[in-house]
Amino acid sequence: MAAPVGQELFSRTLNFGPRGQMGIFRMRLLARQPGHEDLTITVPDQTTIMEALGLAGLSLDAPCGGQGRCGKCLVEVQGRLSPPSPKEALILENQPGRRLACLTKGSGEVTVTLEPRTVFNAVKGLGWSAPYSLDPPFKISQVPERDRQDQRSAQQFLNLKALSPQVLQTIGLLEADRNLGQVLTYQDQILMAFPANQEPPPNLAVALDLGTTGLAVAVLDLSERKILAMETSLNPQTAIGADVISRITAAAHSNDDLLKLQELAISGLKDLLTSAAGPKLAPSLHGAVIAGNATMLHLLAGVNPKSLAQAPYRPIFTKSLDLSHLAARLGLAPWAKVLTAPSISAYVGGDITAGLLAIKLAQRPGTVMFIDIGTNGEIVLSQNGTMVATSCAAGPALEGMNISHGLRAISGAIDSFKLNPDHSPCFTTINQAPAIGICGSGLIDLCAELIKGGLIAKSGKLLSSENFAPHIHDGAYYLTDQVSFTQKDIRQVQLAKGAIAAAMKMLLERLKLTIHDLTEVIIAGSFGYHLRAENLLTLKLIPAGYQGPVTFVGNSSLTGAARLLLDSSAQEEIDQLTAQVEVIELGFDPKFQETFLAELSF
């Protein structure tokens, strides 16, 4: 795993001036981590704790974008602080010495105690892929000897396009010394030339998945057609907000905020690929393909994404973008080719097209539903190659957010749950650490098991039952003394699963089909590795009546990005695929709300 952003800052003191404001406050950060010293910073008076941590290069989870709604940025703090607002006081009930970092302002001396940094856990590995030919578009080729009478230019002789003055200059210097040995090409374009008297560098590239919550990277040896390393980490933009809407709002606020979000994406990807490839190997990576949803790709490119959140929801770009100017900032070779996967619409992005490419949905027989479960549930229905797609606002509940004791997939998060025969809870946690909350996969298991156990009614009401008496207190089900599942949490699950199920039904109706016509459901994303098909059916996240198989294909976004690096024909295929998909905007369909309400029950 990549080291958490800012972890190294515990070893030195940073000072920030008052920037023209009256007064300053000094914040001391106490690190509960072995090997790290405390950190002291000085910031303007009335700066929030969260803003001060940001200045120090540290971040906290803020799914609500720092609006004081989610309660996830609680910190242990002492000193001269602003009084709690009524909104904060409601969240802080029975938690003395703790405050919301996003709302609490300091004045004078303040001490914040930092808990040990948590590490985002996700499955490392490419997802399942349909077979394809291995013929990488990046090649290192030997330059043939030239006849001394040949007067053609180097560009004509090589029958390729030179990309930049840097490449031309390098070729010129090597030709002057009669030392032009190899050229690195992408399709018919020269990226770099290398001397004949040296071994050419290895032909390496990197596939990147820029997810709203997590980042994933696969370092590939294109010559050997194999994976060298894989890593995952939390997207550092989560410090700004858990979902795309909160980040669009932040980016639209000012150009400085847009550039901050861009830098968070770039630095997060750079740190991750450097961790995976190693600091010596990373600068020799020749190419990269980045898959992500439309908002993430707009932010990475530094393009204001405001139009994505305003009807009629128009993206600024959808086609594959050449971001080679970011190569050095991403820690790649300065001549590296950096491309994005194309999007289809504002909310059916490059992560989905990469996934469709990976599983070859257009070529799959039958009636197949592809679902990427996340904050925005993206769904594509294919009937023998006729494809319709949509997205729905499932909300962050299935990623552990907006849940009383919800967490991302970090150490100590409950990730699976079953009821024992005596109705007592049986669960596992990530890294077998003491339970501190529930992540998305654990949430689905928990809700499904309580439905099957009779504690949750079809309406979603949390019932009272003597069988569960030791675990029911104050209208909540307690898994441990500290971790509970409330009526409000059940409603959040209902909203998420209702949105996905309703969207599935709307797509089927578009092609004049019913749930009984569906022959396969494919679940994408590393989240899917931890799910049980029977529980998705119990929750009716997949509408009632479905009888076919549920296939989990893993991180198909990363897999599709890797294929674009390993298969020369993949770029043309993904471009054709994006043109084939018809997008249905559910917000414009009055029937969606009716279908959504009907799908809320279990």
Give the number of domains in the chain: 5
What is the mean pLDDT for each group of 10 consecutive residues in the chain (602 residues)? 29 31 58 56 78 68 70 82 85 79 84 62 63 88 85 80 78 86 88 88 95 92 91 88 88 93 96 94 95 97 95 94 96 96 96 96 95 87 96 80 86 92 92 91 95 95 89 92 95 95 96 96 80 93 94 93 95 95 90 94 94
Tell me how many degrees the CA angle 398-209-251 measures, rounded to the nearest 5. Answer: 75
Domain boundary among 315, 350, 385: 350
Kindly state whether residue 326 falls inside one of the protein's structural domains: yes
Q: Which of 315, 336, 226 is nearest to 270 (CA)?
A: 336
Domain boundary among 486, 515, 533: 486
Shared domain check, 153 and 299: no
- Long-range contacts at 419-426 (CB < 8 A, ≥ 24 apart): 419/449, 419/450, 419/452, 419/453, 423/453, 423/467, 423/468, 423/471, 424/470, 424/471, 425/471, 425/479
What is the model's pLDDT at position 24? Answer: 57
Phi and psi at residue 421, to the nearest 5°: -55, -30
Shared domain check, 334 and 247: yes
Helix, strand, coil % (nearest 5) of the chain?
Answer: 35, 25, 40
Shared domain check, 527 and 391: yes
How far is CA 349 from its chain centroid?
A: 12
The span from the CA of 566 to the CA of 130, in Å, is 13
- Complete DSSP assignment for 348-383: S-HHHHHHHHHHTGGG--SEEEEEE-SSEEEEEEEE
Kindly state whether residue 127 falls inside one of the protein's structural domains: no
Q: What is the 3-state secondary structure (H, E, C) of 218-256?
A: EEEECCCCEEEEEEEEECHHHHCCCCHHHHHHHHHHCHH
Range of the domain at 507: 358-396+493-598
Shared domain check, 346 and 271: yes
Kindly state whether residue 146 falls inside one of the protein's structural domains: yes
Domain boundary among 486, 518, 543: 486
Shared domain check, 504 and 370: yes
Shared domain check, 412 and 539: no
Kindly state whether residue 129 falls inside one of the protein's structural domains: no
Q: Which residues contact 108 (CB under 8 A, 6 or more apart)?
A: 25, 26, 79, 80
Shared domain check, 150 and 76: no
What CATH number should be reported for the domain holding residue 553?
3.30.420
What is the model's pLDDT at position 15? Answer: 32
Shared domain check, 479 and 407: yes
Give the bridge partners for 390, in sequence order: 379
Q: Which residues contact 149 (CB under 8 A, 6 or more apart)?
A: none
The span from the CA of 215 to the CA of 218, in Å, is 11
The span from the CA of 428 to the CA of 145, in Å, is 64
Shared domain check, 109 and 150: no
Kindly state whether residue 507 falls inside one of the protein's structural domains: yes
Kindly state whether residue 405 falls inside one of the protein's structural domains: yes
Kindly state whether residue 316 falls inside one of the protein's structural domains: yes
| DSSP three-state, residue 80 | strand
Kindly state whether residue 210 falls inside one of the protein's structural domains: no
Shared domain check, 74 and 143: no
What CATH number should be reported for the domain holding residue 241?
3.30.420.480
Residue in the structure block whose two tokens are 């050997």? 224
| DSSP three-state, residue 300 | helix
Shared domain check, 507 and 377: yes
Confidence (pTM): 0.82
Q: Per the structure block, which two tokens stand in for 214?
A: 């997590």
Shared domain check, 181 and 78: no
What is the model's pLDDT at position 201? Answer: 86
- Long-range contacts at 529-533 (CB < 8 A, ≥ 24 apart): 529/123, 529/554, 530/123, 530/415, 530/416, 530/440, 530/441, 531/441, 531/444, 532/445, 532/448
Phi and psi at residue 414, to the nearest 5°: -70, 120
Tell me how many degrees the CA angle 352-354-359 measures, rounded to the nearest 5. Answer: 95
